[in-house]
């Protein structure tokens, strides 16, 4: 027996940066599945076109042109959404801009611009909405990070901001979990109009055919659904491939009277990931990873 399709009837979703690329794909799929969508993008013409596309498939959408890089923009976006549809149930924090620069060329002004939209932007959007989500005992937030966090030359500012988004996700998930608000994070990869030409590469044809925004959107929309059990998790979404990511910790080496030589002489233990753990929170890391080693050392002294 086939399972029922996932629907969003009666749900309102905000998608920031929804005028093109991945954001557009998220907005269109949510609308196809019955959600009322607020299409946010400072690129006014592009955002208007997405709303027209949604109307063409008999979906429901309104446009918003405010910048999420300021608290005022986030508040105005929330007001627009609530004024149009009432309660907001879903937020996809997708808006972003990439200003590539080697660290030696990275100016404070450029770094501040990146922080304002990538790291502060999700906060600007959520600050006016979070109390209502908690009050209604329901909310789904999908924050968008990037594979640049693994290390990508020329992306120091971008990677730093996106790593911050991952930390923000974990903490918001802890704070919202008892009130029906779930927060997860995706690291998407897709070929868009701004992507480099890969036609001459070995895997170029496969990437062009299968790593598209439309292939990423189903994973993000699943995370935004009420049936999704994930909370405080990270997922890489490489086109049609979705996989869980995790911060892990090795068993390490414990010495209650350490010296620098301690770690030099036990370096293999420090870096050995054979029996790693996956901390789910700061307290979980202390309780299940750190303290047992301390207690074992203390008993053996």
For residue 49, give Cα distances in angstroms to 56, 148, 166. Answer: 10, 30, 31
Taking the C-alpha atoms of residue 276 and residue 296, their distance in angstroms, rounded to an integer, is 18
Q: Where are the alpha helices (H) located in 177-255, listed in sequence order?
A: 204-210, 213-223
158 is a catalytic site residue: yes
- Comparing CA positions, the residue from 258, 276, 278, 275 lying closest to residue 266 is 258
- Comparing CA positions, the residue from 74, 55, 85, 57 lying closest to residue 16 is 74
Residue 235: in which H helix or E strand, if any? strand 234-238
Single out the catalytic residue among 158, 178, 263, 276: 158
Could you give the dihedral angle defined by the CA atoms of residues 267, 270, 271 and 273, in that order, rounded to the nearest 10 degrees? Answer: 140
Cβ neighbors of 157 (< 8 A, separation 6 or more) are 99, 101, 106, 110, 111, 114, 115
Q: What is the DSSP letter of 147?
A: G
Positions marked active-site: 158
């Amino acid at each position: 027996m086939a399972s029922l399709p996932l629907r969003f009837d009666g749900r309102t979703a905000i998608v920031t940066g929804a005028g093109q690329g991945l954001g557009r794909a998220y907005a269109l799929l949510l609308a196809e599945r019955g959600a009322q969508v607020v299409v946010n993008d400072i690129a006014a013409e592009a955002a208007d076109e997405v709303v027209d596309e949604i109307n063409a498939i008999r979906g429901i959408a309104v446009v918003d042109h405010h910048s999420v890089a300021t608290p005022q923009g986030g508040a105005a976006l929330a007001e627009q959404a609530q004024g149009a549809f009432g309660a907001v149930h879903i937020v996809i924090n997708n808006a972003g801009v990439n200003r590539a620069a080697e660290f030696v060329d990275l100016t404070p002004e450029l770094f501040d611009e990146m922080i304002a939209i990538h790291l502060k932007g999700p906060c600007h959007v959520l600050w006016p909405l979070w109390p209502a989500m908690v009050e209604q005992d329901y909310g789904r937030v999908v924050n968008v990070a990037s594979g640049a966090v693994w290390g990508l030359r020329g992306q120091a500012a971008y990677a730093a901001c996106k790593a911050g988004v991952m930390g923000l996700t974990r903490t918001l998930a802890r704070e919202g979990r008892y009130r029906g608000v779930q927060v997860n994070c995706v690291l998407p990869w897709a070929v868009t109009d701004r992507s480099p030409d890969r036609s001459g590469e070995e895997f170029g044809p496969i990437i062009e055919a299968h790593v598209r925004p439309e292939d990423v959107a189903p994973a993000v929309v699943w995370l935004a659904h009420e049936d999704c059990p994930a909370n405080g998790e990270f997922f890489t979404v490489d086109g049609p491939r979705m996989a869980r990511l995790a911060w892990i910790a090795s068993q390490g080496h414990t010495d209650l009277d350490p010296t620098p030589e301690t770690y030099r002489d036990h370096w293999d233990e420090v870096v050995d990931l054979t029996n790693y753990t996956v901390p789910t929170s700061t307290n979980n890391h202390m309780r299940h990873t750190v303290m047992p080693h301390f207690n074992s050392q203390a008993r053996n002294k």
